[in-house]
């Protein structure tokens, strides 16, 4: 209301001034000898006209400037006092509106930065896939995981595994969560892949989250297996201990009273056989108790080359390694490993012995190879290969289970204990690329 009143007053006296100037100019025009007055009156008409026009157009100009600021996102425009005439209130209103917009824009910008930082620091690798199958690595984890990516299309992810590429192509499935093998730095591990659909500027977009979970899955599986082994060994030991004791006592008593009686001698031999088998079962079960105990890891950084040469000596001194050549490669020569050298040596020598036995039984020229190298991400890759028959594809997931073995007389503890040791290090052990023989890859 104040603006309307002030505007009317300003408009009124400018209009009166213009009318008065026009009247004065008309009078001077009809009166001879008033040339100077006529010029002055004309100047007054022009000034009053300009003043009235400027006064009326001021509102339009301020509003137009406000709208232009909105249009181009320029929220730094200032609106305040406008030299009286009722426009102070308009300027104040426009200024308040612009300050509010500026504050809201700053808040939205801060929130956008927080959201961008959260996405960039998320532990899962985030991939954005558009409708043309172009892929954007959306955060640090994605750039770190897929740093070897040679292109920007889904097909360029082929080195990471065919199953992973198929999931990236699964455009018909709006959302899913699946565990799939993922080859990272040449090592296959399981990863959780989830997909969701969204819209950006009216264009469909898919966001795919990739989280390697091999270590977590291994830890859960090993904990469950250890609990099962602990319960089984406890129950079997409790049941078999009195059987062994009673069988041995019965055999001893029968021996004392036999006196050449063939019937008692036969019974004694049967009981002694029972006692030996029961004792063997006790020894067998006792050997698995080590699996249920979490290995104590004493990590330190040590040189890889001397450690590998010590493995060569241990391998050559073993029955399995006798007359089986062992090739060793360490790259770079000054490579160091951050691990427990004794536990890691236990894993490596077990793999070397297994490989030597498989190769020796398979052909006339058995050979085993040990390679130690540095992965691009800074971790260490230890590879053990042999030229034996290899591992059947259907057994790839079973060979690391406790009690599972393909060797006659094997206990099925070696590989499961190896995985337990590597998991305690925060590393992994898995079958490498199939080919001539078996290949085990250790990442630590």
- Res 85: pLDDT: 47
Average confidence score pLDDT of the chain:
78
Residue 180 has pLDDT above 50, yes or no: yes
CATH topology of 122-212 equal to that of 300-443?
no
Q: What is the pLDDT of residues 47-63, one digit of tens each?
A: 878 877 777 766 666 67
- Res 328: pLDDT: 94
What kind of fold does domain 300-443 have according to CATH?
A: Heat Shock Protein 90 (3.30.565)
**Mean pLDDT on 375-390:** 88
Judged by DSSP in three states, 73 sits in coil
pLDDT band, very low/low/confident/very high, at 442 (cuts 50, 70, 90): very high
**Mean pLDDT on 419-425:** 84
14, 142, 182, 189, 378 from 123: Cα distances, Å: 70, 9, 16, 17, 18
CATH architecture of 122-212: 2-Layer Sandwich (3.30)
- Res 4: pLDDT: 57
**Mean pLDDT on 373-385:** 89
Residue 434 has pLDDT above 60, yes or no: yes
263, 308, 313 from 303: Cα distances, Å: 67, 9, 16
The C-alpha atoms of residue 93 and residue 120 are separated, in whole angstroms, by 40
Residue 336 has pLDDT above 90, yes or no: yes
- Res 247: pLDDT: 76
Residue 91 neighbours by CB distance under 10 Å:
18
Paired strand residues for 127: 137, 208
Among 71-75, 95-99, 114-118, 258-262, the minimum mean pLDDT is found in 71-75
**Mean pLDDT on 159-177:** 78
Among 75-84, 301-310, 341-350, 407-416, the minimum mean pLDDT is found in 75-84
Domain extents in the chain: 2-113, 122-212, 217-292, 300-443
- Res 309: pLDDT: 92
Residues 264, 323 contacting (CB under 8 angstroms): no
- Res 358: pLDDT: 87
Please give the full DSSP string across 56-72, using - where no structure is assigned.
HHHHHHHHHHHHHHHHT
pLDDT band, very low/low/confident/very high, at 199 (cuts 50, 70, 90): confident
The C-alpha atoms of residue 60 and residue 64 are separated, in whole angstroms, by 6
**Mean pLDDT on 294-298:** 77
The C-alpha atoms of residue 256 and residue 130 are separated, in whole angstroms, by 88
Higher pLDDT, 72 or 248: 248
Residue 174 has pLDDT above 70, yes or no: no
The top-scoring range by mean pLDDT among 334-348, 383-397, 424-438 is 334-348
Measured in whole angstroms, the distance separating CA 209 from the mean position of its chain's CA atoms is: 8
Paired strand residues for 129: 135, 206
pLDDT band, very low/low/confident/very high, at 119 (cuts 50, 70, 90): confident
Q: Compute, in degrees rounded to 10, the torsion defined by CA atoms 215, 218, 223, 229.
A: -150
Residue 270: partners with Cβ closer than 8 Å, 6 or more residues away: none
Residue 387 has pLDDT above 80, yes or no: yes
- Res 308: pLDDT: 94
Residue 177 has pLDDT above 90, yes or no: no
**Mean pLDDT on 423-442:** 84
Higher pLDDT, 214 or 110: 110
Residue 443 has pLDDT above 50, yes or no: yes
Residue 87 neighbours by CB distance under 10 Å:
21
**Mean pLDDT on 154-174:** 81
- Res 262: pLDDT: 79
Threshold 0.85, pTM exceeds: no
Q: What is the pLDDT of residues 73-105, one digit of tens each?
A: 676 666 555 544 455 666 666 677 777 877 887
pLDDT band, very low/low/confident/very high, at 338 (cuts 50, 70, 90): very high
């Amino acid at each position: 209301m104040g603006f309307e009143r002030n505007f009317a007053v300003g408009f009124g006296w400018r209009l009166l001034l213009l009318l008065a100037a026009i009247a004065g100019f008309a009078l001077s025009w009809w009166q001879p000898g008033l040339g100077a007055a006529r010029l002055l009156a004309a100047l007054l008409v022009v000034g009053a006209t300009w003043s009235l026009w400027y006064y009326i157009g001021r509102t339009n100009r301020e509003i137009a400037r406000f709208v232009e600021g909105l249009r181009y996102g320029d929220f730094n425009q200032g609106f305040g006092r406008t030299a009286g005439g009722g426009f102070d209130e308009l300027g104040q209103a426009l200024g308040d509106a612009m300050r509010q917009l500026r504050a809201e824009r700053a808040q939205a910008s801060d929130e956008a930065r927080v959201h961008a930082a959260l996405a960039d620091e998320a532990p899962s690798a985030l991939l954005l896939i558009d409708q043309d199958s172009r892929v954007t690595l959306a955060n640090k984890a994605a750039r770190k995981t897929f740093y070897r990516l040679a292109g920007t299309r889904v097909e360029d992810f082929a080195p990471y595994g065919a199953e992973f590429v198929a999931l990236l192509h699964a455009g018909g499935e709006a959302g899913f969560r699946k565990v799939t093998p993922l080859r990272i730095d040449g090592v296959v591990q399981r990863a959780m892949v989830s997909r969701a659909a969204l819209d950006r500027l009216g264009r469909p977009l898919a966001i795919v989250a990739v989280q390697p979970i091999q270590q977590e899955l291994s830890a859960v599986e090993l904990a469950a297996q250890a609990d099962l082994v602990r319960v089984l060994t406890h129950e079997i030991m409790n049941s078999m201990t009195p059987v062994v004791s009673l069988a041995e006592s019965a055999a001893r008593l029968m021996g004392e009273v036999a006196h050449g009686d063939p019937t008692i001698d036969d019974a004694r031999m049967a009981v002694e056989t029972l006692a030996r088998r029961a004792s063997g079962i006790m020894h067998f079960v006792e050997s698995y108790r080590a699996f249920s105990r979490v290995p104590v890891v004493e990590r330190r950084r040590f040189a890889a080359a001397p450690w590998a040469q010590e493995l060569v000596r241990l391998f050559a001194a073993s029955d399995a390694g006798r007359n089986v050549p062992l090739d060793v490669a360490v790259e770079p020569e000054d490579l160091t490993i951050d691990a427990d050298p004794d536990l890691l040596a236990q894993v490596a020598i077990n793999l070397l012995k297994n490989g030597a036995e498989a190769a020796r039984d398979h052909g006339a020229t058995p050979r085993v190879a040990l390679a130690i190298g540095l992965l691009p991400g800074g971790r260490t890759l230890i590879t053990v290969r042999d030229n034996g028959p290899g591992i059947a594809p259907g057994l790839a997931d079973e060979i690391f289970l406790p009690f599972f073995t393909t060797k006659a007389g094997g206990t099925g503890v070696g590989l499961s204990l190896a995985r337990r040791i590597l998991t305690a290090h925060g590393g992994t052990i898995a079958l490498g690329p199939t080919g001539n023989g078996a290949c085990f890859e250790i990442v630590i």
